Structure 1
């Protein structure tokens, strides 16, 4: 007779898997993907190192799952801002500032998602992540063109350009702040107010799609 897993055993396995994923997510937020080892994840989750491999074939597969979970959460926040009530300018402003604000508040995780060197499997996930953002921005831009809030433009190109601008504008500040967190001191590049930085990035992105935005 073939073995049939009982609901109790299935629930226990799911619980352990979730514990491992949570531990991996916490360590990634603290140390990045490169600084996270399977043994450290196992210790944080309270399981044997071998147990991790019962649920994930290797570190890359585990990190990919962490990446998907983290990016899904971040995408949901931007999507919510873009689908809120209000005109396109208001919603794009909220979406861009939300992206930048969340990145600067969780800088190690944001840097890992945006720019940390990773293996090919994770790199493909990153491309998917950027494409998803680009599609969300493109839909909002298309709506703005239709309502004549925005000038005629190619929505998909503009959407992808916004994602690129956001990532490029944040890489340097995120890396600098991670160094400051490590050394305990602020370098000249990081003395710029984070709120002012968010305003500047948001204004640039809005101007890029044809919305006049002045930074005060």
Structure 2
């Protein structure tokens, strides 16, 4: 019986923790980090603020985990594309398209996680996240260089350029202070422009030796 009680308690604790993180993510998606106060998170999760502090030391720790989980999901998507049977050019096009499109579909959340001012601890997690994304892109670029589809001098620099384009290019359209709504046609056009730019930046030019 004690084992069963312990198992149920563990399950309830894990559920509380996931509920807190999900509530924080939803609040960030609505209004950025400023909306995700401990009190607001607790209210949305249906728990007390004291319970939130049982799982997390402070707000920053919650936000870091929300960012980490979100990026891990994006990296899994990119890794799946990188491991597919597509050609390197198609993989790169699809990777950039998928990443930017997902950001455009959740603008407030994407802007907060990637660009909103944060403390140094959170900024460090952002840097780590971009390194994970860069690693996925490096695999695609390396494969493309080996089979002759891509041409560039340094793999790491090329990957940094692609990741920079995938992330920083969406600052303007995602910035909530601009209060601009984009229709689907513009989103599709914008996403294609970025993906084409990244592919053309590394694509082997006709006639290259």
TM-score by length of 2: 0.89
Q: Which one of the candidate residues 173, 187, 192 is aligned to 1:194? A: 187
Kindly report the root-mean-square deviation, in angstroms, between the aligned alpha carbons of the 2 structures: 1.8
Cα distance change on mapping 1:194 and 1:177 into 2, 3 Å: farther
Q: Does 1:109 align with 2:102?
A: no
Aligned to 2:135: 135
Q: Does 1:146 align with 2:157?
A: no
Task: String of CA shifts for 1:123-173, please: whole Å, max 9, x gaps.
Answer: 001001111111111111111111111124211111111111122211101
- 1:82 deviates by 2.0
- 1:195 deviates by 0.7
Q: List gaps (5 residues or longer) in structure 2.
A: none
The structure showing larger relative contact order (alpha-carbon pairs under 8 Å, at least 6 residues apart) is 2
Q: Does 1:99 align with 2:115?
A: no
Q: List gaps (5 residues or longer) in structure 1.
A: 181-185
Task: String of CA shifts for 1:75-133, please: whole Å, max 9, x gaps.
Answer: 22222222221210111110010011001001111111211111111100100111111
Give the number of equivalent residue pairs: 200
TM-score by length of 1: 0.87
Matches within 5 A, 1:171-186: 171-175=171-175, 179-180=179-180, 186=181
Task: String of CA shifts for 1:38-80, please: whole Å, max 9, x gaps.
Answer: 1000000000111100100100111111111111111222222
Q: How far apart, in 1, do the equivalents of 2:62 and 2:9 lie? A: 22
Kept in 1, the 8 Å contact 2:141–2:150? The answer is yes
Aligned to 1:183: none
